[in-house]
Structure formats: C-alpha cells, structure tokens
Structure 1
Amino acid sequence: MDLRESTVTEMIQRDHRSKWLSYNNHNIKCFAEGEIREITSNYKTIIGKGGFVEVYKGVLQDGTTVAVKKFMCNAEENFAKELKVHCEINHKNVVRLIGYCAEEIALMIVSEYISKGNLNDVLHHERIPITLDTRLRIAVECSEALCYMHSQMYTQIIHGDIKPANILLDDNFNAKISDFGISRLVNTDATLFTERVIGSIGYMDPLFARTGRLTSKSDVYSFGIVLVELITNKKATIRNGETGIVECFTQALATGKRKVRELFDVEISSQDDMKVLEGVAKLAGQCLRMEMDRRPEMRDVAERLRVLRKTQVQGKQTVFLWGEGTSQHPKPTGNLLVQSRNNLCHTTCAGISHSGT
C-alpha cells in the first residue's frame, strides 16, 4: 500500500481526524503531478465538472484508460476524506481506485474509466433501450455494493449520495457506484449526526435533511428512488412545481396495484413481467418509508432483488398481496412468492406520462 497516511490525514481538521481512520485493503499508487500531466496529455480531454472538481480522461503507460478527478483550490479536506473512503473499498461494482496525487497544488484521484457514462444519462437523455432483466441486474449489483459497504467491511461506509448520476455503466451495462465526495466512515456506532447536511435534491433522505442523523438507512431511502426511476423511467427531480415521480409513486402504491401499473415504463411493462415489476415497486415503497427503523437493511434489499430477477429470468408467476401488513420479507409458499403491503399515505394520484422528460 502506497497511501501516505500522515500527509492525507493532516488535510482533515484536527478535531475530526479520529473519525477518518482508514484500513486500506488494496494497493493504490501515488502519482507525481508530472506523471498526471503525461497521463492526461496535459489535461487535454475533460469529461466532467462539479462544484470544486474537474474530471479528465487519461491513459496509463500500460494502455489502461483512467479518469482523473482534479480538485480545485481550497479543497484539501474534501480530497482527503474522499480518498480515505474510496481506498477502503474493493468491490467489483464500485469504481476501482487506481491512485492519487497529493502534491500541494495538485490534488487528484485516479480511478478506472467507465465507458458508457452514468445511469441518469442512459435512462433520461440518451434514451438507450434497457431491458427489464438489465435494469434488475443493475439494481442487484448496486444493492450488493451498498450491502458490502454497510455490513461487510472492517469500517462501515455510508455513501450519502446514491442517485442514477453516481451509478456508472460499462459497455455491458455492468454497474459501478462512484463519487464518494460526501461519504462517511462509521468507526463507532451505526449513526452519525451532523450539522452540515449535504446531498442531492430529490434523492436525499428527508429524515437526514430534517435531523442531521445519517445512517445506512439513508442510503436505503436514496436507493429506493433509484428503483423507482428504473421501473418508471421518470426523473426524481421536480420542475416548475409539478408533482414528482416519488410523490406520485408513493400515492399510487397506497391506492393499489392498478395505479402503480400506470406508472411503469411501457418499454418493460409486458403482462408477463407485471408481477415482477409490482415486486420491485413494493420493495421501493418499503425503502421509502418515513419511519427509518421500518426500512429494510440493504442486505435484505439485495436478496429480494436477486429473487425477483431470478423469477423474471425463469418466467415464474409471482403473487403479491395488496392488503394490510407490515412484513419486511417475502415468504415463499410453494411456487408462489407472497409479499405484504407497505403502509403509506392514503392519497390519490393522477396518471403520469411515460415521456423521457
């Protein structure tokens, strides 16, 4: 491991350093700024830009294409925290960290380059057709990566900004979670409190926004919105005071399966797949519960998505009960998969178009 721990740690405020202890489990390389210039051909090709970062495409000496995230002025602490989180993670469905540069005026993170871009663009801008099986696989892969971060690592990680724009896809539509700029290491208990509430409008857990309490269930809420977008092909963000898809979805879910079916993306809502889509909808509704303790754990979300995908692939019939109940887990009964209803607000919702807006 080549991470120069003391140099990076000193970029974090002294009072907060104990919260950012890391235990790296794979090798990453420390690049000199001159090497980065060579890799990026003097920062020739910019492929992304954020509030305090720019992302460039580059090529290593062995021909590997990489993405170089360059942090702009006064971003030392942001750089240090993101690097410490990212270097903890080694999972096939998380963008792989390759290295970094920590020179005084050249703070950069080097990661693998993912060819097809992000899920948000694929769903809502490029309008690339994606089959239901592929959407389910994307959901499974992201849920498994989050499960790994929440419960299978030495130090728990809360991503804090799960949304389609932070889910990258390769040429085979394999999913990779990216952007750990506001992620948190949980070295003590499973809850963090902060006065600095940061997240993406439309995807942030409203309980976190209200109380500053951040837990793994905050990621579960955001992932529920990703599931809604996958099955409806509608963006979560709201424009011009219109009713958002999340509000419309939760209202429809409370009303019954007929209203929910009206929201499914017509490209994947064949009659044969309707029960599987209803299963994903029920799971998304449970992720979006406003009672944090009643949201499922990500390991349960991943397992249920695997079952639903297997059901879809094998063409099995699945029955979902839309009556009252609070069960969090699907119960197999013979060849039938029975799932209970999630208690949500009992309001009505008008239909919503399936256009790409």
Structure 2
Amino acid sequence: MQGYDGNPYLKDGCQDIDECIDRKSDYRCAKDAICQNTEGSYTCICPPDFSGNGTVCNRDNPQRITQNIYFVLGATAGVAFAIIIVFGWSYTAFQRRKMSKMKKKFFQENGGLVLQQRLTREEGSSHNSTIKIFTAEELEKATNGFDKDRVVGQGGFGTVYKGYLKDNCIVAIKKSKVIDRNQIEQFINEVLVLSQVNHRNVVKLLGCCLETEVPLLVYEFISNGTLSEHLHDKLKASNLSLDIRLRVAAETAGVLSYLHSAAYPPIIHRDIKSVNILLDKTYTAKVSDFGASRLVPADQTELSTLVQGTLGYLDPEYLQTNQLNEKSDVYSFGVVLVELLTGRKALCFERPAEERSLAQYFVSSVEKGLLLDILDDNIVYDKTNEEKLKNVVKLAQRCLNVKGDERPTMKEVAAELEAGLRLKCSWAETDRHSEEKESLLPGTQRLRFGYEYSEHSTDADSITSHVTLPFPGGR
C-alpha cells in the first residue's frame, strides 16, 4: 500500500512511511522545500523567500518580497506627485498670467498702444516706418538672457548687448537704466523719427521692445568699435591718417546737418562725442546713441531744459543758460574735431591743470601759435597739407566759440569739410586776415587767426558738470 510499509496480514503490520526521512525514488519535494509527513503521504512547502508548489521552488526577487510595501509607497508617491503636478501647473499658469499682465502693463506704460497707432498711421504715408516691435522673449534669447559676456558697451543711459536674432542677424540691443514716464509721447516721437531716418552715417534703429520695465532698443551692429577707441589706442591711431580723420569729421558733420536741417521735426543730438561715433571696417562713421536727443518743435529754435551731456563736450553757453539749441551740437562737434587733430581726450584730470580741458587747451595753444606741439604724432605734417590743416583748425575754433551765435551752423560746417575733402579752397572765403596764411612751422611766424580770444576764454569750471536726465529726453 503506497505510503505504508510492512505485512498487511498482521495486525498493525502496515506502518506509515516517513517519506521526509526515507526519501525514495518517488520523492517529489524540491531540494529547498520543507517536507511535512502525513499519514500515508507527505506535503511539500516552499520555504520563505521562495515561491512554488513545493515540488518546484524558485527564489523570490527582493522587489517582489517587498512588493506590497513598494506598492503602498508607489501609490502614495503617485498621489503626491499628482498633487505636485497639479500645484505646479496651477502655479506656472498663475505666474504666466501674472507675467502676461506685467508685460501688458509695461507695454501700455511705455507707450506701446500709442506707438502701434502711430505706426499704423504711418503705413499709409510716403514715409513708411520699418521699425519692428520685438517681444521680450525674442531679445532675451538673442542676448542669451542678457549675459554679461554679451555686453559691448555701457554709458550713462544704459548697457548695450550684442545679440543674434533668429535669422542670424547681428544687432546691438540697448537696455536703458531708467525712463521718465512723463515723456512717453516724446519717446514715441523720437523712436518714429529715428526709425525713418535714412542716412548712411546714422546707426539704424531696427525696432524696440516695450514689454519690459524699461524699453529695449534694437540697432544695427557696427563691428569696428568707437572713434574714441581708435584715437586713444596707439596701435589703432597709427591707422588713422589725416584724410581718414577729416572724412570721419565730414561724415559726422553731415549727420548733424541732416538732423538739424533735413529731419522733421529737427533733432538735437545733445551728446556728440567720440564714444558715440562708431566706425565700420572701412572707417565709415556711424553716429549712434540718441539717448539724450531732443526733438525741436516747429515753432521753436531752442528748448529750456536741464543740462545734460558729457563732461568735456558740454556747450558752456548751454551749461550757463539751460537753453538748448542746434549750436550746442556745434560746440560738441568742435571738441570731436579737436580730438581728431590732437588724439587727446576731451577731458583728462591726469594732465596739468591748463591742459585738462582739451577745448580750452586747444584754443590757448592756437592763440599762442603752438598748434604743432599738440597735433597727433600720427598726422604727417608737410607743405601739401598745411593749408588744409590751417582751415580745419580755424573751423574748429569757430565751432568752439563760447558765444553760440558766433558759431557756424552744422550745415556750414559740413559744407566746408566736404569741400575740403574735394580739395576745393572753400575756406578761403573766410580768410579775412592776412596773418591767417602764415606758416604753421615752429621757428617761423606763428599761425594766428583773426579772433579776439579775450572774448572766447572759458571758465575752467564751465564744463565740469555732467547732469543726467531720466531716459527719454531721447533714448
């Protein structure tokens, strides 16, 4: 009888076999199984950490051992994650709505609606504006989040970044520091005017962004740096011949003449200086940074305004009277013209007191017949350019006249410089004194011009104020 052993014909002759001990050939429990003997048979049970029916036992995966725990933890984590997702989505949506409201608020405060209306109005006119209104995201991406490594210039009105638009167009993006929201309409007018200025020697305004706290302005990018860098770097200055310098002066004068006489309404730049004159690879001048510029109403010739400008270039008359007019740009241009001739900075406190103000030192040196002592060493002086230099020096003196009424207009300045480039002796008409034709060479008769400089001398402190206004008096 299966499961028993003994003589079935005897009483109690059949005895139960303990298959767990006496493992015969028909023993079926797995090696790792626990054998439990039963009457006439046995059972196989897989031990802990194993699964199976006893005849086959497989070791469980540790993850499976704790699957219930993990299931509970997973379910809990899933619920928590879902809550976080929902909360995060809600918070993100809230932030987006908040950001959208802020952008709309800034857009309106910066005159975006007015600008859009004006642009729409201009579309049907003969002077179609090419200005583009950029989004904040476009310019953030273009500047890599306004990365400090993209900074190419800084000034009193803001920071200029090099940017790459999605069409790989390289631009200069100016981020202003502050804006006077009481002058939004003035700002709109200036943006529109400059967007329509079509002059080869003006840095082109491509567009603006009004979705940020302060407006962002987008200009064409000029690659060769500023005139100041070229004049005050010994290596770069050696590449600036007299002809190149006079061409830069003529181009700059042409821009100011255009702004004063051809633009409507006329524009006073108010911050002409060598830093604001850019040069391209061919040394062509590009006037930039209209951050202090002002539009002149048609019925006015001058504006009463707080003094604004840059130390060393400020018109003394404007500084004393607060009356801004076109002749203020003429004075500043005169300082730039002297910079081109001398290679010296407009203001340098490292120089002796009498030489700190370049304008005053230049006037004094010419009056004493010492011009050659202050000419840039890179300007080759010889008989072929003596007359040219004499005429340019006299023109610079006229521009630096302390009395605005006695200065030439920028139209006259541009015409004289252009004539000089064409080798025409247009300056001869203004040679009213024979002593103006005397030699520039030291050791001979000294060059003197027929002006009474006792009337032109300036107080050393008259150009030592640098007053700044909130953002748009211009941009």
2:327·2:409 contact (CA, 8 Å) conserved in 1? yes
Q: Secondary structure at the match of 2:215?
A: strand
2:335·2:358 contact (CA, 8 Å) conserved in 1? no
Whether 1:341 and 2:453 are equivalent positions in the alignment is no
Distance 1:133 1:55 in 2: 30
Deviation at 1:46, TM superposition (A): 1.5
Distance 2:366 2:327 in 1: 20
Mean CA deviation greater in 179-188 or 244-253: 244-253
Q: Secondary structure at the match of 1:68?
A: strand
Q: Secondary structure at the match of 1:189?
A: coil
Deviation at 1:59, TM superposition (A): 1.4
1:275·1:318 contact (CA, 8 Å) conserved in 2? no
Q: Which amino acid in the other structure matches residue 394 of structure 2?
A: K
Aligned to 1:336: none
1:87·1:97 contact (CA, 8 Å) conserved in 2? no
Distance 2:205 2:218 in 1: 6
Q: Which amino acid in the other structure matches residue 252 of structure 1?
A: S
Distance change >3 Å, CA 300–CA 261, structure 1 → 2: same
Whether 1:54 and 2:159 are equivalent positions in the alignment is yes
Deviation at 1:55, TM superposition (A): 1.4
Q: Which runs of 5+ in 2 are unaligned?
A: 1-106, 115-121, 437-447, 458-475
Deviation at 1:250, TM superposition (A): 0.6
Aligned to 1:19: none
Aligned to 2:389: 277
Whether 1:133 and 2:243 are equivalent positions in the alignment is yes
Distance change >3 Å, CA 252–CA 52, structure 1 → 2: closer
Aligned to 1:39: 142
Distance change >3 Å, CA 101–CA 319, structure 1 → 2: closer
Whether 1:103 and 2:211 are equivalent positions in the alignment is yes
Post-superposition CA distance 1:21-60 (Å, at most 9, x none): x997531000110111122222231112234522111112
Query: Where does 1:60-139 land on structure 2 (aligned, <5 Å)?
Result: 60-72=165-177, 76=181, 81=186, 84-89=189-194, 90=197, 91-105=199-213, 107-125=215-233, 127-128=235-236, 129=238, 130-139=240-249
Query: RMSD of the TM alignment (CA)?
Result: 3.4
Q: Which amino acid in the other structure matches residue 288 of structure 2?
A: S
Q: Secondary structure at the match of 1:67?
A: strand
Query: Where does 1:84-233 land on structure 2 (aligned, <5 Å)?
Result: 84-89=189-194, 90=197, 91-105=199-213, 107-125=215-233, 127-128=235-236, 129=238, 130-187=240-297, 188-194=299-305, 196-233=306-343
Mean CA deviation greater in 297-306 or 269-278: 269-278
1:144·1:299 contact (CA, 8 Å) conserved in 2? yes
Distance change >3 Å, CA 317–CA 191, structure 1 → 2: closer
Distance 1:74 1:347 in 2: 37
Aligned to 1:355: none
Whether 1:238 and 2:348 are equivalent positions in the alignment is yes
Distance 1:292 1:142 in 2: 20
Deviation at 1:317, TM superposition (A): 12
Query: Where does 1:4-19 land on structure 2 (aligned, <5 Å)?
Result: 8-9=110-111
Question: How does the TM-score come out when normalised to structure 2?
Answer: 0.61
Mean CA deviation greater in 136-145 or 245-254: 245-254
Distance 2:242 2:256 in 1: 21
Q: Which runs of 5+ in 1 are unaligned?
A: 13-21, 327-338, 349-357
Distance 1:201 1:180 in 2: 17
Aligned to 2:375: 264
Q: Secondary structure at the match of 1:47?
A: strand
Count of matched residue pairs: 319
Q: Secondary structure at the match of 1:311?
A: coil
Distance 1:133 1:86 in 2: 34
Deviation at 1:10, TM superposition (A): 8.4
1:71·1:107 contact (CA, 8 Å) conserved in 2? yes
Deviation at 1:282, TM superposition (A): 0.3
Distance 2:348 2:396 in 1: 19
Residue of 418, 422, 427 corresponding to 1:306: 418
Post-superposition CA distance 1:71-120 (Å, at most 9, x none): 24556568875564243131111110001000143520000111111111
Aligned to 2:33: none
Q: Secondary structure at the match of 1:66?
A: strand
Query: Where does 1:15-30 land on structure 2 (aligned, <5 Å)?
Result: 26-30=129-133
Distance 1:279 1:220 in 2: 17
Distance 2:133 2:372 in 1: 51
Q: Which amino acid in the other structure matches residue 283 of structure 2?
A: F
Deviation at 1:346, TM superposition (A): 8.7
Post-superposition CA distance 1:201-251 (Å, at most 9, x none): 100001000000110000000000111010111111030435232212111
Distance 2:283 2:184 in 1: 29
1:286·1:342 contact (CA, 8 Å) conserved in 2? no
2:111·2:188 contact (CA, 8 Å) conserved in 1? no
Q: Secondary structure at the match of 1:290?
A: coil
Q: Secondary structure at the match of 1:270?
A: coil
Distance 2:427 2:404 in 1: 31
Distance 2:179 2:265 in 1: 28
Distance change >3 Å, CA 70–CA 199, structure 1 → 2: same
Distance 2:329 2:414 in 1: 13
Higher Rg of the two aligned structures:
2
Distance 1:264 1:190 in 2: 36
Q: Secondary structure at the match of 2:422?
A: helix
